[in-house]
C-alpha cells in the first residue's frame, strides 16, 4: 500500500479488538454466498402486516394517502404551468416554442423527461 | 459531500468514560453521528456510505467508509462498485454495510476494549419493520457485545430537545423532512402519537436527484460535470422554497428583471482556445495563385478534349462524305459490295448518319442547332408502308410497317407536346402582357393585388402540402408514434373498417347494384394521387413569384426565406465560448424543493408537507379542537431538508389554508434542524430513568424478536 493511503487512515482495518466476530469470519473470503439481504419491499411483505390489527401503526399504514387536490400540470421542459400535452411524446409543454423543442428531442431524452415524473414507458 | 471533508481523528479519551455512560448514535440516511451521552455535540460525523474499490497494486478489495480525499482514489479501481448505503428508503436493510459503518464509527470513537461495553441509544425510523430492528439488535449484541440497547425516533428526540429549550410545548407537531422521507409526528402531552403519524417518501435525496436530472437534461454537453455531489452542493447553496409557487413561476415566465436577478450562474472550468493568427496577405495571394493555376489546368484539359472531339467528328464526316460521293459515282451492282464493307445497309442510312454527325459537330463547336422539326418533316415522308393495306404486304414488310407506325406516333406525340408548350408560353406571355398593361395603368394597386394573390396561393399550396404530409414532414424525430393519417388515408381506413364490420348486419345486399363495386376502386386507391388543381396552383404560384421578383424590389420568396432560416439554424459551428460552459440555475432553484410540497411532480402519488399536516391531525383520535389548536400553535420544522430558505413561511401559508379561520398557528424552525435529533438523544440518555427504557442482552436472549416488537420507549422521563 502507498504511504499516503496508509497515513490517511482511509482504509477500514480487517479486524477490530472490540468485535466478538470479525468481518472475515462472518463473511469468509472465497465463499460464494447468495444475496443475504432483502429489499424493503420484501421486508415489508415478510412482516405480514395484514395479520395485525388495523389500528396499530406500522410502516405501511402510516404512509400519506394521495393528495385530495388534483395535481397541477407543469411543463416537463421549462417547469412552467402547462396547458398542453403532446399526444405523440406524452410530454407536457407550456407554449409553442417549447413544443418545437419537444418535437426536436431525441427519443431517449423524451423517455428521461417522462421518467422524471414516473411516466416513462417501461419495457420488460 | 466527499470532496471537501476530512477524515475524523480517532478519539483518545475513551478510557475516561465509565461503562455506564451510553453511546449515542444518530443513524441517519445522510450522516452517521456518534458521540457520548451528556455532551453537546457528536464526536464523529460522516456520510453514511461505504465504498469498496479494488486496490490497483495488490488487487485487494478494500473498504472505505464515509468521507475521504478523492485524490487518493487514484490508487484504486473504482469501476466495479459504487457507493453503497445500508438504507433502502429510510429502513436499514444491508447489515453487512451497516457493520462496516459501525466498525468505523466505534473505531473513530476510540473503543479499545474487547467489546463495546456501553449502553447504546440508536435512532431508527418511525414504525421500523421488526425484522430490520431485530437484525440491528442482533448485530449490536452478538458482534459488538453491547450490554443494552435503546431505539428511538430521531424526530421525536429533536422535538423533545426543542421542547426542553422552550421552542415548542408538550402538545405540538414535528414536521421532519429527512434524506429519504418526510414525516409528520403529532405530540400529545409530550409523547409522539404513532397512530397519527404520516410519511411521504420524498426527501432531500429526491430534491438533489431531481436537480441533477434537470440540469443534465438541460445541459447534455456537461453531463460529466453535473455529478450527484455537485448537485447536492448547488442545492444547499442556491435552492429555496417559493412562498407562492404559481406566482414565482409567472415571474420567471414573463422574464421580469426580478426573475433575472434570481438566476444563479455556475461557470464550469473553461480554457479559451489558442488564438490562431489570421493568414497573411502573402499567404492569401499564394493560395489564390494556386487556385487559379489549378482552374487553368482544368480549363486546358476541357479545351483539349473539345478540340479532339471536333477533329474526330470532322474526320468521320469527311469519311462519310467521301463514301457518299463514291456511291454516287458507281453503279448499283458495285453499290452493295461497297456497302458491305461499311456498317451501313443503304444510302439513306448513310445520309442520315451524315446529318447526325454534322449536328453533333455543330453542337461541339457551340453553333446553334438546326431545329429538328424540319428533319421530322422530311422524315415523315419516309413512312411509305403505312398507307398500304396489310394484305398486300409480306410478313417482313408487316413488321417494318409496325415499326414505322410506332415511330410516326411517337414523333407526332412529340410534336403535339411541343405545340402545347408553345401555346402555353403564348398564353403566359399574353397574361404577362395584360398584367403589364394593368401595372402601367395603376402600379400601386397592381402591386398590392399581386401580393394578395401571392399570399393566397402560397397559403393554398401550403395547406395542400400540410394535408398531405399531416404537417410533420420535417424536423420531427420518430415517425409513426401515434401518427395521424391524412384525410384520404382516413377515408380509406373508414371504408375498410365499415366493410369489415358492417357485414352480417341484417340482409347483405352488397353487389346488388353496380355502384357497390365502385367501393373497391376507392379502397384500393393509392393515397398519393396527384390533384390537377394543385398543379395549376403551383404553376400559377411560380408565375406570380417571377412577376413579383421582376417588379417588386422588396419581395423575398417564401422558399428563399425558409432557406435563409435554415442556414441561420445551422451556423452553430462557431468556437465555444465561456458562455457555453455556464450553467444557469433559474427556475430550478425553487422547482426542485417544490417536490416536498407537490410530490406528484416526481411521480409520487402522496400529499405534500402542508397537506400531510391536515392528514395527521385528522388521524388523531382526539376530537377536541382545543388540543388541535394547541398543537398547531407549536409546529416545529426539523431535518436536513428543512434548511431551504422560505420553507417555514410556505408551510405556515399552506397549513393556514387547511385550518379553521383565525385559529392559532405558529411554525418555527428548530434550533438546529440537523443536529437536534442527536442532541435530544444525548440529553435523553443522561436521565436517571434511561436504564428503564433499554432493552438488555438478557431480554434479547429471553424474548427475542417478539420482545423487540413490543419494545417502545417513553420519550418523557
Q: Does the pLDDT value for residue B221 go beyond 90? A: no
Cell of B308: 479532339
pTM, full prediction: 0.68
The stretch B193-206 carries a mean pLDDT of 94
pLDDT, residue B288, reads 92
Q: What stretch of H or E contains B696?
A: strand B695-696
In this structure, the answer to whether residues B132 and B197 fall within a common structural domain is: no
In this structure, the answer to whether residues B26 and B156 fall within a common structural domain is: yes
Q: Is some CB atom of chain A closer than 8 A to the CB atom of B199?
A: yes
Q: How far is A106 from chain B (nearest CA, A)?
A: 7
Residues with Cβ within 8 Å of residue A59, at least 6 apart in sequence: A44, A47, A49, B91, B125, B127, B128, B129
pLDDT, residue B476, reads 42
In whole angstroms, give the CA distance from residue B82 to residue B348: 91
Tally of CB atoms within 10 A around A100: 11
Q: Using pLDDT thresholds of 50, 70 and 90, give the confidence band for residue B475.
A: very low
In whole angstroms, give the CA distance from residue B608 to residue B471: 41
pLDDT, residue B197, reads 94
The stretch B440-447 carries a mean pLDDT of 82
Does residue B384 sit within a domain? no
In whole angstroms, give the CA distance from residue B241 to residue B250: 15
In this structure, the answer to whether residues B140 and B106 fall within a common structural domain is: yes
Of B682 and B553, which is predicted with more confidence?
B682
Angle at B42 between CA A14 and CA B108, to 5 degrees: 20
pLDDT, residue B664, reads 92
- B-chain residue closest to A40, CA distance: B88
pLDDT, residue B3, reads 42
Q: Could B132 and A58 be called an inter-chain contact, meaning their C-beta atoms sit closer than 8 Å?
A: no
Q: Does the pLDDT value for residue B645 go beyond 80? A: yes
CA neighbor of B714 nearest in space, from B152, B198, B133, B196: B152
Q: Does the pLDDT value for residue B48 go beyond 50? A: yes
What does each C-alpha distance from B345 to B118, B321, B337, B338 come to in angstroms? 122, 16, 11, 10
Q: Could A40 and B113 be called an inter-chain contact, meaning their C-beta atoms sit closer than 8 Å?
A: no
Q: Could A109 and B217 be called an inter-chain contact, meaning their C-beta atoms sit closer than 8 Å?
A: yes
pLDDT, residue B363, reads 84
pLDDT, residue B462, reads 83
Q: Does the pLDDT value for residue B296 go beyond 90? A: yes
- A-chain residue closest to B616, CA distance: A64
Which of A18, A43, A109 lies nearest to residue B116, judging by beta carbons? A18
Residues B327-383 pLDDT 10s: 777 776 777 777 777 777 777 788 888 888 888 888 888 776 555 444 445 555 667
Q: Could A57 and B112 be called an inter-chain contact, meaning their C-beta atoms sit closer than 8 Å?
A: no
Cell of B14: 475513551
Q: Worst-scoring range by mean pLDDT, A58-62, B172-176, B344-348, B353-357? A: B344-348
Measured in degrees and rounded to the nearest 5, phi and psi for residue B336 equal: -70, -35
**DSSP secondary structure letters along B616-644:** HHHH-S---HHHHHHHHTTEEEESGGGGS
Residue after which a domain boundary falls, among B327, B349, B370: B370
Residue after which a domain boundary falls, among B353, B370, B387: B370
Chain A residue numbers with beta carbons less than 8 Å from the beta carbon of B10 are 9
Residues with Cβ within 8 Å of residue B255, at least 6 apart in sequence: none
In total, chain A counts a number of residues equal to: 124
The stretch B202-223 carries a mean pLDDT of 93
pLDDT, residue B605, reads 93
Return the residue in B127, B263, B616, B619 with the most chain A beta carbons within 10 A, the one to mutate for interface testing.
Answer: B127
Average pLDDT in chain A: 89
Residues B621-636 pLDDT 10s: 888 889 999 999 999 9
Residue after which a domain boundary falls, among B351, B370, B389: B370
In this structure, the answer to whether residues B237 and B324 fall within a common structural domain is: no
Q: Does the pLDDT value for residue A82 go beyond 80? A: yes
Q: Using pLDDT thresholds of 50, 70 and 90, give the confidence band for residue B478.
A: very low
Q: Does the pLDDT value for residue B568 go beyond 80? A: no
Residue B44 is classified by DSSP as E
Residues with Cβ within 8 Å of residue B281, at least 6 apart in sequence: none
Residues B530-553 pLDDT 10s: 555 667 778 888 888 887 777 777
Return the residue in A2, A6, A62 with the most chain B beta carbons within 10 A, the one to mutate for interface testing.
Answer: A62
In this structure, the answer to whether residues B94 and B127 fall within a common structural domain is: yes
Q: Which residues pair with B582 in a beta bridge?
A: B267
pLDDT, residue B49, reads 92
Q: Could B114 and A18 be called an inter-chain contact, meaning their C-beta atoms sit closer than 8 Å?
A: yes
Q: Could B199 and A116 be called an inter-chain contact, meaning their C-beta atoms sit closer than 8 Å?
A: no
Residue B614: CATH number of its domain: 3.30.420.40
pLDDT, residue B477, reads 41
In this structure, the answer to whether residues B181 and B225 fall within a common structural domain is: no
Q: Could A43 and B91 be called an inter-chain contact, meaning their C-beta atoms sit closer than 8 Å?
A: yes
Does residue B553 sit within a domain? no
Cell of B7: 477524515
Q: What stretch of H or E contains B236?
A: helix B228-238
Strand pairing report for B50-51 and B64-65 = antiparallel
Residue B342 is classified by DSSP as S
Q: Is some CB atom of chain B closer than 8 A to the CB atom of A96?
A: no
In whole angstroms, give the CA distance from residue B49 to residue B98: 9
In this structure, the answer to whether residues B61 and B143 fall within a common structural domain is: yes
What ipTM, to 2 d.p.? Answer: 0.94
Which of A8, A12, A106 lies nearest to residue B72, judging by beta carbons? A8
Chain B residue numbers with beta carbons less than 8 Å from the beta carbon of A40 are 88-89, 91, 93
Q: How far is B479 from chain A (nearest CA, A)?
A: 10
Residue B118 is classified by DSSP as S
In whole angstroms, give the CA distance from residue B174 to residue B168: 10
Residues B571-585 pLDDT 10s: 456 667 777 888 889
- A-chain residue closest to B110, CA distance: A18
Chain B residue numbers with beta carbons less than 8 Å from the beta carbon of A4 are 72, 75
Which of B69, B220, B607 lies nearest to residue A64, judging by beta carbons? B607
Q: Using pLDDT thresholds of 50, 70 and 90, give the confidence band for residue B506.
A: low
Cβ–Cβ under 8 Å, residues B458 and B450:
no
Q: Is some CB atom of chain A closer than 8 A to the CB atom of B232?
A: no
* Domain containing residue B93: 14-164+673-710
pLDDT, residue B562, reads 55
In this structure, the answer to whether residues B160 and B173 fall within a common structural domain is: no
In this structure, the answer to whether residues B27 and B146 fall within a common structural domain is: yes
Does residue B407 sit within a domain? no
* CB proximity under 8 Å: A 23-42 to B: 23, 26-27, 36-40
In whole angstroms, give the CA distance from residue B98 to residue B67: 16
Q: Worst-scoring range by mean pLDDT, B83-97, B426-440, B499-513? A: B499-513
Does residue B250 sit within a domain? yes
In whole angstroms, give the CA distance from residue B185 to residue B631: 11
Number of domains in chain B: 4
Residue B230: CATH number of its domain: 3.90.640.10
Chain A residue numbers with beta carbons less than 8 Å from the beta carbon of B657 are none
The helix/strand/coil state of B360 is helix
Cell of B624: 377536541
Q: Does the pLDDT value for residue B165 go beyond 70? A: yes
Q: Using pLDDT thresholds of 50, 70 and 90, give the confidence band for residue B500.
A: confident
Q: Is some CB atom of chain A closer than 8 A to the CB atom of B613?
A: no
Chain A residue numbers with beta carbons less than 8 Å from the beta carbon of B213 are 112, 116
In whole angstroms, give the CA distance from residue B675 to residue B681: 10
Provide the number of CB pairs (under 8 Å) joining chain A to chain B.
191
Q: Is some CB atom of chain A closer than 8 A to the CB atom of B483?
A: yes
Q: What stretch of H or E contains B24?
A: strand B23-27
Does residue B591 sit within a domain? yes
Does residue B611 sit within a domain? yes
Cell of B686: 443522561
- A-chain residue closest to B601, CA distance: A117
Q: Could A1 and B58 be called an inter-chain contact, meaning their C-beta atoms sit closer than 8 Å?
A: yes
Return the residue in A10, A50, A81, A120 with the most chain B beta carbons within 10 A, the one to mutate for interface testing.
Answer: A10
- B-chain residue closest to A60, CA distance: B127
What does each C-alpha distance from B483 to A89, A90, B146, B411, B472 come to in angstroms? 11, 13, 67, 48, 9
pLDDT, residue B434, reads 84
Residues B395-434 pLDDT 10s: 888 888 888 888 888 888 999 999 999 998 898 888 888 8
Q: How far is B223 from chain A (nearest CA, A)?
A: 13
The helix/strand/coil state of A27 is coil
Residues B51-90 pLDDT 10s: 988 888 888 888 999 888 878 888 888 887 788 999 999 9
Cβ–Cβ under 8 Å, residues B582 and B190:
no
CA distance between the termini of chain A? 45
Q: Does the pLDDT value for residue B95 go beyond 80? A: yes
Chain B residue numbers with beta carbons less than 8 Å from the beta carbon of A52 are none
pLDDT, residue B405, reads 86
Return the residue in B198, B485, B585 with the most chain A beta carbons within 10 A, the one to mutate for interface testing.
Answer: B198
Chain B residue numbers with beta carbons less than 8 Å from the beta carbon of A109 are 217, 220
Of B517 and B208, which is predicted with more confidence?
B208
Cβ–Cβ under 8 Å, residues B640 and B212:
no
Percent of chain B topping pLDDT 70? 88
Average pLDDT in chain B: 84
Chain A residue numbers with beta carbons less than 8 Å from the beta carbon of B127 are 57-59, 62
Does residue B6 sit within a domain? no
* CB proximity under 8 Å: B 155-194 to A: 194
pLDDT, residue B450, reads 84
Does residue B137 sit within a domain? yes
What does each C-alpha distance from B448 to A6, B218, B322, B457, B461 come to in angstroms? 87, 46, 67, 14, 20
Amino acid at each position: 500500500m502507498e504511504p499516503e493511503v496508509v497515513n490517511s487512515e482511509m482504509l477500514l482495518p480487517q479486524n477490530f479488538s472490540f468485535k466478538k466476530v470479525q468481518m472475515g469470519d462472518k463473511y469468509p473470503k472465497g465463499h460464494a454466498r447468495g444475496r443475504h439481504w432483502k429489499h424493503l419491499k420484501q421486508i415489508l411483505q415478510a412482516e405480514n402486516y395484514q395479520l395485525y390489527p388495523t389500528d396499530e401503526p406500522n410502516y405501511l399504514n402510516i404512509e400519506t394517502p394521495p393528495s385530495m387536490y388534483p395535481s397541477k400540470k407543469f411543463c416537463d421542459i421549462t417547469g412552467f404551468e402547462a396547458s398542453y400535452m403532446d399526444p405523440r411524446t406524452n410530454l407536457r409543454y407550456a407554449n409553442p416554442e417549447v413544443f418545437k423543442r419537444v418535437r426536436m428531442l431525441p427519443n431517449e431524452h423524451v423517455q428521461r423527461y417522462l421518467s422524471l415524473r414516473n411516466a416513462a414507458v417501461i419495457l420488460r | 459531500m466527499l470532496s471537501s471533508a476530512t477524515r475524523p481523528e480517532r478519539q483518545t479519551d475513551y478510557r475516561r468514560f465509565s461503562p455506564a455512560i451510553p453511546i449515542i448514535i444518530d443513524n441517519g440516511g445522510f450522516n452517521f453521528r456518534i458521540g457520548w451521552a451528556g455532551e453537546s455535540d457528536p464526536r464523529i460525523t460522516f456520510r453514511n456510505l461505504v465504498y469498496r474499490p479494488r486496490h490497483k497494486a495488490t488487487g485487494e478489495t478494500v473498504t472505505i467508509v464515509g468521507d475521504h480525499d478523492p485524490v487518493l482514489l487514484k490508487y484504486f479501481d473504482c469501476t466495479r462498485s459504487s457507493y453503497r448505503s445500508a438504507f433502502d428508503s429510510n429502513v436499514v436493510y444491508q447489515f453487512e454495510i451497516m457493520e462496516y459503518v459501525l466498525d468505523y464509527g466505534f473505531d473513530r470513537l476510540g473503543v479499545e476494549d474487547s467489546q463495546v461495553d456501553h449502553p447504546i441509544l440508536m435512532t431508527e425510523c418511525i414504525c421500523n419493520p421488526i425484522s430490520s430492528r431485530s437484525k440491528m439488535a442482533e448485530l449490536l449484541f452478538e458482534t459488538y457485545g453491547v450490554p443494552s440497547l435503546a431505539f428511538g425516533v430521531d424526530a421525536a428526540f429533536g422535538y423533545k430537545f426543542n421542547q426542553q429549550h422552550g421552542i415548542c410545548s408538550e402538545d405540538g407537531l414535528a414536521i421532519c423532512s429527512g434524506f429519504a422521507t418526510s414525516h409528520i409526528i403529532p405530540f400529545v402531552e409530550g409523547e409522539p402519537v404513532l397512530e397519527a403519524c404520516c410519511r411521504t417518501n420524498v426527501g432531500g435525496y429526491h430534491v438533489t436527484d431531481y436537480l441533477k436530472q434537470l440540469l443534465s437534461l438541460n445541459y447534455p454537453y456537461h453531463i460529466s460535470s453535473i455529478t450527484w455531489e455537485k448537485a447536492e452542493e448547488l442545492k444547499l447553496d442556491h435552492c429555496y422554497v417559493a412562498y407562492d409557487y404559481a406566482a414565482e413561476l409567472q415571474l420567471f415566465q414573463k422574464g421580469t428583471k426580478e426573475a433575472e436577478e434570481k438566476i444563479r450562474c455556475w461557470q464550469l472550468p473553461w480554457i479559451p482556445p489558442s488564438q490562431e493568427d489570421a493568414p497573411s496577405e502573402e499567404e492569401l495571394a499564394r493560395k489564390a495563385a494556386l487556385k487559379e493555376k489549378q482552374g487553368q489546368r482544368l480549363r486546358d484539359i476541357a479545351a483539349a478534349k473539345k478540340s479532339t472531339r471536333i477533329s474526330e467528328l470532322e474526320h468521320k464526316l469527311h469519311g462519310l462524305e467521301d463514301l457518299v460521293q463514291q456511291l454516287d459515282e458507281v453503279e448499283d451492282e458495285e453499290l452493295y459490295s461497297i456497302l458491305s464493307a461499311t456498317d451501313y445497309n443503304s444510302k439513306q442510312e448513310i445520309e442520315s448518319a451524315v446529318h447526325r454527325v454534322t449536328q453533333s459537330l455543330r453542337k461541339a463547336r457551340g453553333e446553334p442547332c438546326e431545329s429538328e422539326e424540319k428533319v421530322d418533316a422530311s422524315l415523315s415522308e419516309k413512312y411509305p408502308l403505312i398507307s398500304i393495306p396489310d394484305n398486300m404486304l409480306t410478313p417482313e414488310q408487316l413488321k417494318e410497317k409496325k415499326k414505322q407506325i410506332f415511330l410516326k406516333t411517337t414523333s407526332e406525340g412529340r410534336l403535339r407536346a411541343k405545340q402545347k408548350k408553345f401555346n402555353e408560353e403564348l398564353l403566359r406571355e399574353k397574361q404577362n402582357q395584360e398584367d403589364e398593361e394593368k401595372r402601367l395603368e395603376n402600379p400601386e394597386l397592381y402591386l398590392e393585388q399581386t401580393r394578395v394573390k401571392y399570399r393566397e396561393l402560397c397559403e393554398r399550396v401550403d395547406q395542400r402540402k400540410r394535408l398531405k404530409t399531416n404537417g410533420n414532414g420535417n424536423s420531427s424525430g420518430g415517425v409513426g408514434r401515434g401518427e395521424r393519417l391524412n384525410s384520404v388515408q382516413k377515408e380509406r381506413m373508414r371504408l375498410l373498417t365499415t366493410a369489415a364490420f358492417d357485414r352480417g348486419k341484417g340482409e347483405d345486399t352488397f353487389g346488388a347494384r353496380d355502384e357497390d363495386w365502385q367501393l373497391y376502386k376507392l379502397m384500393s386507391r393509392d393515397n398519393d394521387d396527384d390533384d390537377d388543381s394543385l398543379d395549376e396552383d403551383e404553376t400559377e404560384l411560380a408565375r406570380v413569384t417571377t412577376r413579383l421578383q421582376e417588379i417588386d424590389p422588396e419581395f423575398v420568396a417564401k422558399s428563399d426565406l425558409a432557406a435563409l432560416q435554415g442556414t441561420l439554424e445551422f451556423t452553430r459551428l462557431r468556437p465555444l465560448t465561456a458562455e457555453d460552459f455556464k450553467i444557469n440555475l433559474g427556475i430550478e432553484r425553487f422547482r426542485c424543493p417544490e417536490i416536498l410540497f407537490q410530490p406528484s411532480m416526481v411521480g409520487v402519488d402522496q400529499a405534500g408537507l402542508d397537506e400531510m399536516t391536515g392528514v395527521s391531525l385528522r388521524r388523531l383520535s382526539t376530537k377536541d379542537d382545543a388540543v388541535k389548536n394547541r398543537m398547531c400553535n407549536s409546529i416545529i420544522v426539523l431535518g436536513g431538508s428543512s434548511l431551504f430558505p422560505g420553507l417555514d413561511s410556505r408551510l405556515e401559508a399552506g397549513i393556514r389554508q387547511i385550518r379553521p379561520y383565525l385559529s392559532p398557528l405558529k411554525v418555527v424552525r428548530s434550533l438546529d434542524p440537523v443536529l437536534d435529533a442527536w442532541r435530544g438523544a444525548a440529553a435523553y440518555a443522561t436521565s436517571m430513568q434511561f436504564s428503564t427504557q433499554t432493552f438488555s442482552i438478557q431480554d434479547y436472549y429471553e424474548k427475542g424478536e417478539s420482545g423487540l416488537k413490543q419494545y417502545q420507549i417513553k420519550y418523557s422521563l
